[in-house]
Amino acid sequence: MEILISFIIPFIILLTVVVFIHEYGHYYFARKYGVGVTDFSIGFGKEIFGWNDKSGTRWKICWIPLGGYVKFFGDRNVFSQADQEKIINKYSKEDQKKLFVLKPLYQRALIVVAGPLANFLLAIAIFFSAYMFVGKDFTPAVINEVQKDSPAMEAGLKNNDIIVSIDGNKVKSIMEVSKFIMMSTGEFVDFTISRSNQNLTYKVKPKIVPGEDNLENKMNKRIVGIKLGAYNNEINHVKLGPIKAIYYAISEVYYVSASSLKYIGSMIRGSGDSSQLGGPIRIAKITGQVAEFGIMPFLNMMAYISISLGLINLFPIPLLDGGHLMFYGFEKILGHPLSQKVQEGFFRIGMFLLLSLMFFTTFNDLKDLGLF
C-alpha cells in the first residue's frame, strides 16, 4: 500500500496528464481540419470506463497506463497511410471528408507534430507559472573553496572566482552550476569565470565517480572539486513579470531539449554514460520521491517528462510521430506516399528499435534497484 501511494499513484497522475496533453494536440488539430476521431484513449488494453461525445468520439481510460492514442475515422492505426484508391471506393463522398489520409500533406503534418508541440507548450506553461508565482533564483555563483588536488585546482580555478558561464551556458544562478556540469557530455567542462574584473576561461576535466543524487538514487557524478557560495552572501530570488517569465520558460525548454540531444549523441558516439538512461520504473521511483517535496517539484518533474516525451516522439523512427513526419517528407519529395510494403519494412525496423530501447532501459531500472 505504501508503494502504491508513494510511487505508483504520483507516476500515473503525471503520465496521465502528459499523455493527455500530447494526444489532445493531435485531437485538436484533427478536429480543426475536419478529420473524424473515433477514439481518444489514455492507456492501452481493455477499457476501464469511457463515454461518447456529441461528435462520436469515444473517450476512454484503459488498464495499461503507459501511453495513449487517438484513432482517426477509417484508419487501422493512428496515422496509417493506406491505399488511397481503396479508401475512395470504400467510403461515400461525405465520409471521405473525414478521412485523415485524404487530407492535404501540410494538414496531416500539422496534426502529427501537434502532439510533441503540445508537450513543449505544457512544459513552458509550468515553468512560466513557477517563475511568475514562485519566483526564480538569480544568485550569482562564487567559488568559496577549491579542493586540494581537485580537477578545478589543476585547471587553475581559485577561491572567490565568480562563475560566468559553463560550456557556453550563461550561469544566472548558483542553482545552475551543478546542472550544467552534470549535463555536460564532453571530456572537459569549459568554465568562464570573472576574476579581478577580467573574464578567463579554463578547461576542467571532471572525475567520474559513483555517487547518489539528492534523492539518494545511484548515479555517476562528474566531480570538479569546488564549493560554492552566494555573491556577497546575498540570495536573489525574485518573482518575474510575464515577459521575463515566458522568456526564461522557453529558454529552459530549449536548454533541456538541446542537452538531451547532446546526451543521446554522446551515447551514439560511445562517450556518453548509458547507465543513466532509465525507463518507466526509474521514472516512477523518482516521481514518487519528488512528489514528497510538494506540488512545485512535482510539476517541475512533469515539465521535464513532458519535454522528453515531446522530443522522443520527434525522432524519425516509425511508430513515433517523427517517423510519420519522415514518411511525409518522402511523400513530398516523391510526389506520392511510400508503398505499403516499404512502410511495413520501416515499421518493423522501428518496432525493433523501440523494443531494444525498452529492454535496455528496463535492464537499467532493475539494475538501479539492485536486482542485477
In degrees, to the nearest 5, what angle opens at C-alpha 251 toward C-alphas 269 and 271? Answer: 10
Helix, strand, coil percentages for the chain (3-state, nearest 5): 50, 20, 25
Q: Over the Cα atoms of the chain, what is R_g?
A: 24
Contact 311, 343 (CB under 8 A): no
- All three cell numbers of 172, joined, read 544566472
CB neighbour class for 241 (10 Å; exposed up to 12, middle 13-18, buried from 19)? exposed
Asked about 23 being catalytic, the answer comes back as: yes
- Residue 15 exposure: Cα atoms within 13 Å on the Cβ side: 23
Tell how far CA 53 is from the center of its chain.
31
User: Residue 27 carries which side chain, given as an amino acid letter?
Assistant: Y
CA distances from 301 to 55, 126, 212, 217, 295 (A): 35, 10, 18, 15, 10
Contact 41, 20 (CB under 8 A): no
- All three cell numbers of 350, joined, read 522501428
- All three cell numbers of 17, joined, read 496528464
DSSP 307: H
Whole-number Å distance between alpha carbons of 26 and 38: 13
Cα torsion angle, 121, 126, 127, 131, sign = positive
- Identified catalytic residue from 2, 23, 85, 252: 23
Contact 219, 276 (CB under 8 A): yes
Residues with a catalytic annotation lie at 23
